[in-house]
Amino acid sequence: MMEIRNIAIIAHVDHGKTTLVDKILHATKVFRDNQDTGELIMDSNDLERERGITIFSKNASVTYKDVKINVIDTPGHADFGGEVERVLKMADGVCLLVDAFEGPMPQTRFVLQKALQLNLKPIVIINKVDKPNCRPDEVHDAVFELFFNLDASEEQLDFPTFYGSGKNGWFNDSLTQIDNINPLLDGILKYVPAPKVNEGPVQMQITSLDYSSFLGRIAVGKVARGVLKENQPIALMQAGGVIKKSRVKELYVFEGMGKKRVTEVVAGDLCAVVGIEDFNIGDTIADAENPEALPVISVDEPTMNMLFSINNSPFYGKDGKFVTSRHLRDRLMKETEKNLALRVKEAEGGGDSFLVYGRGILHLGILIETMRREGYELTVGQPQVIVKDVDGVRSEPYESLVVDVPQEFASKVIDLVTRRKGEMHVMETKGEMQHLEFEIPSRGLIGLRTQMLTATTGEAVMAHRFIAYKPWKGQIPGRNNGVLIAKSTEKTTAYSIDKLQDRGTFFVDPGEEVYAGQIIAENIKPGDLIVNATEGKKLTNHRASGSDDASRIAPKTLMTLEECMEYIQQDECIEVTPNFIRMRKVILDENERSKVQKSMKTEAV
């Protein structure tokens, strides 16, 4: 029987996880020498390719010196922490990647903490040692300090360290540059323990799920005990003590980038099981005669929610395939099956709105973007943080925010964060950069990234992670400027936009269809303004000299979905369809809006 090693690759976002997996795949000859594989092979999803980030964890398997190594590539963003927590259950060791310049970052701390709690064997890899200003020795000390602060055991503190550059394809146990990553692969075989196998009837926890249009839903996990065979009758053990009888139809193990069908899988190996109906992540596949459940996977709670509703704008149904509340409900429920950190419940006052709870703006934004590409139409409201009562005190989520910025912009960053109720805890110089650490309410992060990039000419690198619930910090200032709202439903004209340009920055181009109540520009002043951007020029046979110059219109400001989510206020929402993202007022009719505003003012008095 072949020896097995299960490793997960964990790191802060952009520290080189997926690039390292590429190098492992190439070094172990998964591909032919002349095969064109491109880069970031594991980022197979369109959204991952566009954004350059990993969103879904993925498995690959390689063979090195007759040992099978199952590699799990994990996301680095805090918003996808639920994905990381879940898949670490399949690993016996972790490769912790740390950038040789940036050192440990907030997400490094988060993923390492989860790995240490599961008692996984860590291997530290200090990556990007070819970067200018890198400081591998200082970073090594910082990593040791991080392990110590996270209460690592004596054994975990005695971690092996490798240095290298994923991009240039070398890793070594010293800073001497070589031309391959074999020392690292040897280190994985030496330091990562073989899977612990207990005696007894079969047990496997479902930690991930796959989908195939031919085979349906596929359960993925690590066989913890016994042997799983094709056609074997099994008991599916679910939360709340529910036990369902089922049978394994087909079994697959991971090989290279794909899967290989087998007749049996021994304890310690990762596998994919076909033929089980109605399973959820966290369920246990157990022996049919003596079923025993494994502990359920617990995932940190969501910190933010948004209201998802059907699209009720005048352009309803023009663009998408799935537009009804039934479509929306089915899709959201399907998402909760595999997205553990997501919660969905029906909103008060009707079945066409749902409150969706997630880990952050990116987490919810990726869900909306995926649905939009699948042909859904929906409207989403302003992201709200989840407020709890902790010992009778109104509390809100707080995050640790880390910003690396050139020194000349440090004061601007501090000013921006403190205005949003952030408190600075650390300020130190790293090369030419200033390293700042803050504690800030999660509410304060909404809309902060865009402002910070503008204030620092795009130079700031910010990252954040959830710490804990703490007492409510009071009012945080929102958007300073009002918006310009379309007066009628028609196509915009260059003539009108030209006349209105000194009033604000436009989000629409001439010739675009708009509707009454749609937000078409940002006002240069506070307060909202209703404007007519659809008026055509009256043509007469009189010409005035000099007044008939061609319109000179600045191109529209393009806003991504996440930027729109951070931009809108309480009385606004976003209409999302396969081809358009439009911001609008929740109440489209101008008279209705003013009635509601008056009644709210009266209540406040």
Place of tokens 């992670």: 465
* 469 vs 257, more confident: 469
Domain residue spans in the chain?
A: 3-191, 203-287, 388-471, 483-539+553-569+582-604
129 is in an annotated binding site: yes
Q: Are strands 483-486 and 529-531 parallel, antiparallel or unpaired?
A: parallel
Question: Exposure of 474 by Cβ count < 10 A (0-12 exposed, 13-18 middle, 19+ buried)?
Answer: exposed
Per-residue DSSP letter, 524: S
127 is in an annotated binding site: yes
19 is in an annotated binding site: yes
37 is in an annotated binding site: no
Residue 597 backbone dihedrals phi, psi, to 5 degrees? -60, -40
Give the three-state DSSP class for 343. Answer: strand
Looking at residue 37, its pLDDT comes to 47
Looking at residue 542, its pLDDT comes to 66
- 3-class DSSP string for 161-200: EEEEECCCCEEECCCCCCCCCHHHHHHHHHHCCCCCCECC
Please check whether the two domains, 3-191 and 483-539+553-569+582-604, share a CATH topology. no
Looking at residue 520, its pLDDT comes to 92
Looking at residue 182, its pLDDT comes to 87
Average of per-residue pLDDT across 104-119: 82
Looking at residue 536, its pLDDT comes to 83
3-191 fold: Rossmann fold (3.40.50)
Task: Summarize pLDDT for 353-385 with one digit per residue, the tens.
Answer: 899 998 888 888 888 988 998 999 999 999 988
130 is in an annotated binding site: yes
Rounded to 5°, the CA angle 443-449-455 comes to: 125
Task: Summarize pLDDT for 420-460 with one digit per residue, the tens.
Answer: 899 999 898 877 788 899 999 988 888 888 888 888 888 88
33 is in an annotated binding site: no
Task: Summarize pLDDT for 311-354 with one digit per residue, the tens.
Answer: 989 998 888 888 888 999 999 988 887 777 788 988 887 678 89
The amino acid present at 313, given as its one-letter code, is S
Architecture of domain 388-471: 2-Layer Sandwich (3.30)
Spatial distance between the Cα atoms of 152 and 329, rounded to a whole number of angstroms: 43
Task: Summarize pLDDT for 151-200 with one digit per residue, the tens.
Answer: 888 888 888 999 888 888 888 888 888 888 888 888 888 888 888 777 77
Could you tell me which residues come within 8 angstroms of residue 390 by beta carbon, excluding any fewer than 6 positions away?
A: 469
Task: Summarize pLDDT for 518-575 with one digit per residue, the tens.
Answer: 999 999 988 889 999 888 887 777 665 555 455 678 888 888 888 898 888 888 999 9
Spatial distance between the Cα atoms of 266 and 224, rounded to a whole number of angstroms: 9
Question: Could you tell me where the beta strands, DSSP code E, fall in 195-266?
Answer: 203-212, 216-225, 227-229, 233-237, 243-247, 250-255, 258-262, 264-266
Distance between terminal CA atoms of the chain? 77
345 is in an annotated binding site: no
Looking at residue 440, its pLDDT comes to 92
Q: How far is CA 359 from CA 299, 324, 366, in A?
A: 11, 26, 11
The amino acid present at 69, given as its one-letter code, is I
Helices first, then strands: H and E counts in the chain: 15, 35
From the list 367, 385, 386, the residue with the least C-alpha distance to 308 is 367
Spatial distance between the Cα atoms of 280 and 284, rounded to a whole number of angstroms: 9
Tally of CB atoms within 10 A around 252: 20
Report DSSP letters for 265-288, one per residue. Answer: EETT-EEEEES--S--TT-EEEES
Average of per-residue pLDDT across 124-128: 88
Looking at residue 551, its pLDDT comes to 64
Using the Cα atoms of residue 577, residue 582, residue 586 and residue 591 in order, give the sign of their dihedral.
negative
**Longest Cα–Cα distance in the chain:** 96
Spatial distance between the Cα atoms of 221 and 89, rounded to a whole number of angstroms: 9
Average of per-residue pLDDT across 215-237: 84
The rounded percent of the chain whose pLDDT value lies above 90 is 13
CATH no. for 203-287: 2.40.30.10
Average of per-residue pLDDT across 226-238: 85
Domain 483-539+553-569+582-604 in CATH: superfamily?
A: bipa protein (2.40.50.250)
Q: What is the mean pLDDT of the chain?
A: 83
Name the strand (E) or helix (H) holding 519: strand 519-523
Q: Which residues are 70's β-sheet partners?
A: 6, 61
Could you tell me which residues come within 8 angstroms of residue 157 by beta carbon, excluding any fewer than 6 positions away?
A: 144, 147, 148
458 is in an annotated binding site: no
Could you tell me which residues come within 8 angstroms of residue 422 by beta carbon, excluding any fewer than 6 positions away?
A: 401, 438, 439, 440, 441, 444
Residue 383 backbone dihedrals phi, psi, to 5 degrees? -65, 135
Looking at residue 194, its pLDDT comes to 85
Residue 484 backbone dihedrals phi, psi, to 5 degrees? -100, 130
Name the strand (E) or helix (H) holding 94: strand 93-99
Looking at residue 135, its pLDDT comes to 85
Using the Cα atoms of residue 455, residue 460, residue 465 and residue 471 in order, give the sign of their dihedral.
negative
Q: How many residues would you count in the chain?
A: 605
Looking at residue 33, its pLDDT comes to 47
Looking at residue 346, its pLDDT comes to 87
The amino acid present at 247, given as its one-letter code, is R
549 is in an annotated binding site: no
* 342 vs 507, more confident: 507
Looking at residue 577, its pLDDT comes to 92
From the list 341, 300, 445, the residue with the least C-alpha distance to 383 is 445
Residue 27 backbone dihedrals phi, psi, to 5 degrees? -65, -30
18 is in an annotated binding site: yes
Rounded to 5°, the CA angle 552-557-561 comes to: 160
From the list 344, 351, 349, the residue with the least C-alpha distance to 371 is 344
Per-residue DSSP letter, 486: E
Task: Summarize pLDDT for 63-79 with one digit per residue, the tens.
Answer: 888 888 888 877 766 56
Spatial distance between the Cα atoms of 311 and 551, rounded to a whole number of angstroms: 34
Task: Summarize pLDDT for 6-57 with one digit per residue, the tens.
Answer: 888 888 776 677 778 777 777 776 654 445 444 444 444 555 555 556 556 6
Could you tell me which residues come within 8 angstroms of residue 34 by beta carbon, excluding any fewer than 6 positions away?
A: none
Spatial distance between the Cα atoms of 91 and 121, rounded to a whole number of angstroms: 9
